[in-house]
Structures are given as structure tokens and as C-alpha cells.
Amino acid sequence: MTNDPETNVSFRQLLSFFIPLGISASLITISHLIINSTLARSAHPEIIIASYALPFSILAITERPALLLRQTCSALVRDRVSFRAVSIVSLYIFSSILLMGALISYTPIGKWVFFYLFGVDDDMLGPMIDVYRVLMFVSIFSGLRCLFQGVIIFNMRTKWLTIGMIVRLLVMYLVSLYFIKTNGVTSGQVGAIIFLSGMMVEALMSFLEGRVLLKKIPEKAPEHTIERPGQIFQFYKPLLYSSIIAVIIGPAINSFMGKTSDFQLSVASFTIAAGLTQLVQSFFSYIHQIVLNFYNKDAKAVLRFTTALSCIPVLLLTILCYTPIGMWFMEHVMGVNERLMHASLNTLKMFMIMVLVFPWLDYGNGLIMLRGETKVMVWSQSANVLITLITLTLCIAVSPGMNGMIGAFAQSLGMVAEAIVVGLVLRNIRKSGDRSPFHMKLNSRNE
């Protein structure tokens, strides 16, 4: 690893690259707030919100393959040849998402999913399918956005992610006002239309900026061997498998919450604590992009930067858990009662383990992606799920009175297990002396 003056990276450079990414990730929570606050203005908010929330939970699964295009493009695209290879893979992904959406929206499969898996009533079945018929297109525009955001990120133009998110929020707010001021909020489909409108605009902005940047990169970069869709799939498929495995965690925790001493308190306190943890953690969810784009230039600078960042989420959660600020925030901002407030704070304390580990897990995953060893993430995510399930089972058996703390503790230990697997693999890679990036490994394999 070279560290000459030409390759040294300053803290300021890392901050200017990272902060726009962090802001754009944090602003995502506002987009959901706009939708939920709009639907809450309907005549029957509980029914309308429910008709949107369940189809949205399916979107969270079907959108995952599209979201992975951001990491894939950022890691592998360095010329127009490699971008065309990723674009072909994207077409396969988008076609699969549309096929799955069509099956859910226009065949008996959709009725089976909502009726048997979610247990919805007959009168809610139609409105939920109508919502999903709009949401299925969100995945396509989200994937298109992520594809070109990958180009934007490796060209160090991360401010465009923040700009795109701000414009998206503005459009969503204006569409929300349109429905409120005209026909009113009459169905959950309004929330889906608001979401789709914002995503389309963000995708358009990412596309326009990405196309400009693509014209500036070479047709074929020297020594960059990514040329074919098959090479892209070698990197992408393990990411997809690991994300599918991760889907198990959320439903498993919700299921086990039903076995605690106080089901309603458990779910409510866990939901509040998890939401606050996500709010704190989301800003720091792009450390892997720092690794992908700067580690080969200055590994020590990236390590120092990650060390500095890793202290911030723990500090923020400590302030919420152990100072009056946390109680004030929950009481006056979130409006929770005293019983739920104390239960949520206790649950939040368990999440401190997770926020301590998460930045380093993201750093490790960045190194894994940089080396092209994405198949490791299947095993690390499997370890996460296994330890989470074991912890949930033991805690419910030994101390069901922990309520929401059980879910937070299990999720935190699962992430610790995932980080341990990643750490062990990276130690073995370091011992072997193999520091070559993914495209160089492909080159040696082809030879």
C-alpha cells in the first residue's frame, strides 16, 4: 500500500465525500414522515395507513435487489464498458422485479400473500393490492437511481445525492399538499403515488448527472478487467443472497415479541427504540463507500476517519439514554406516556451494543466488497440470523419480562456475530497477503 504525497487523503476530503451521503441517508426518514402524516389526515387514518403499510413491507423486500446496484456500480464501474455490463445486469433485475410485481398485483398469488401471510380481511384485500400496483414501480425507479448514484459516488460527486434527496422531498411534499387541498386522502394509494412521484424525480436527477459523468470517463480503462455481465454477477449474487437472509430478522423479532410478558408494550417500546437507533445510525451507513473509494489510496486515513466516526453514534445514544434529553425528547417530541417512555429507554440502552459495532461492520463489509469476497457476506449474515434466533429463544425462556429489550439485545448480538465473521475473514486475507482488488483477481483467474 503506497502512502506517498500523491496518494495521501486528507480528513477534509473524506468529510466532503461522506457528509452528503450521510445527509441523504438521514433525509430518507423524512420522506416516510411526509407520507404517514398525509395518510393520517384521512377520515379513517387507521384503515388507510394499514392499507399502505402492509404493501410497503412487501416493497421493502422486492426493492432490495435494486438497492444493491449502488454498491455494485460504485465498486466495479471504472469505464463505459464496465457500466454497460452493470446495465445489462440491471435489466435482468428490473425485469424480475416487474414480473414479481405483476404476479402479486394481477394473479391469485397476491391475494394469497395478503390473505394468508398477513391475515388481512376481505374488505382490505382490494385496497392493498391497489396500493402495491403503484408501489411495484417504486422499485424500478429506485434501482435506476441507485445505478447512476454508483457512478456519481465513484466520481466523488456525492453532493448530488443530497440535492436529489432534497428535491425528492420537495416534490413529495407538493404532491401531498395537492391531495390534501383537492380530493382529500381517500385511500392508501395516495401514499404510494406520493412515494412514486418523489422516487421518479430523484431517479431522473441521478440519471441526468450520471450520464454527464459517464461521458467524462474512458471507454476502456487500462488494467480494468470488468467487461461482461457474468463478472458483475460474481460480485452481485452473494450480496443478493445475504440481503435475502437478512429479511428473516425483522419478522422473527416481531414474532418473538408476542411471547413476552406484555406484547403491546414490547412491540411499542421496540419500535420506538429501533426507530431512534435507525435515525442515529442512518447517517453513518455509508462508511463502506469511504472504503471502496479511498482505501487503496490511503488506508491509514480511512482507518482514522472510521475511528473518529464510530464514536459519534454511541455518544448520541448515550445522551438519549442517560441524560434528561432522552426523556424530554420522547415526552414532548414523540408524545409517549411515562410507562412507554421508560420501557423505550431501557430498550434503547440495549441498542448501544449495535451502534458500537455497526460502523466497524460497515468498514469491514467495505473491505470485503473491495476484495470481491462478497460470498463471505452470505456466511456473516447467516451468523447474524442464527445468533439472533438463539438469543431470542433463550431470552424468552429465561426472562420474558425483559419485553422490548429482548428484541434489541438479540438484534445487537446478531450484528456482533456478523462482525466477528467478517473480522476473521479479513484477518485471514491479511495473513495471506492478498490485497488485490476484485477486477485484478478476475484478471488472474482469466489468465
- Tens digit of each residue's pLDDT, the chain (447 residues): 344 444 688 999 999 999 999 998 888 878 887 888 888 777 777 778 878 878 887 888 888 999 999 999 998 999 999 999 999 999 999 999 999 999 999 999 888 888 777 677 778 888 889 999 999 999 999 999 999 999 999 999 999 999 999 999 999 999 999 998 887 788 889 999 999 999 999 999 999 999 999 999 999 988 888 889 999 999 999 999 998 888 888 878 877 877 887 777 887 788 888 888 888 888 888 999 999 999 999 999 999 999 999 999 999 999 999 999 988 888 877 777 788 888 889 999 999 999 999 999 999 999 999 988 889 999 999 999 999 999 999 999 998 888 889 999 999 999 999 999 999 999 988 887 665 555 545 544 443
Q: What is the secondary structure of 141-167 as a DSSP string?
A: HHHHHHHHHHHHHHTT-THHHHHHHHH
**Long-range contacts, 115-120 (Cβ 8 Å, 24+):** 118/54, 120/54
Residue 47, classified by CB atoms within 10 Å of its CB into exposed (0-12), middle (13-18) or buried (19+), is middle
Contact call for residues 143 and 87 (beta carbons, < 8 A):
no
Cell (9 digits) for 256: 418473538
Q: How much helix, strand and coil, in percent to the nearest 5, is found in the chain? A: 80, 0, 20
Q: How far apart are CA 392 and CA 299, in angstroms?
A: 38
The pLDDT score that the predictor gives to residue 397 is 92
Cell (9 digits) for 165: 434527496
Q: Which residues are CB-contacts of 125 (< 8 A; sequence separation ≥ 6)?
A: 111, 114, 115
Number of H helices, E strands in the chain: 19, 0
The pLDDT score that the predictor gives to residue 232 is 93
Contact call for residues 262 and 403 (beta carbons, < 8 A):
yes
Helix (H) or strand (E) holding 353: helix 352-370
Task: Give pTM, 2 decimals.
Answer: 0.84
The pLDDT score that the predictor gives to residue 435 is 58
C-alpha distances (whole Å) from 218 to each of 110, 297, 379, 437, 441 are 45, 20, 36, 20, 21
- CA 219-220-224 angle, to 5 degrees, is 145
Cell (9 digits) for 346: 431501557
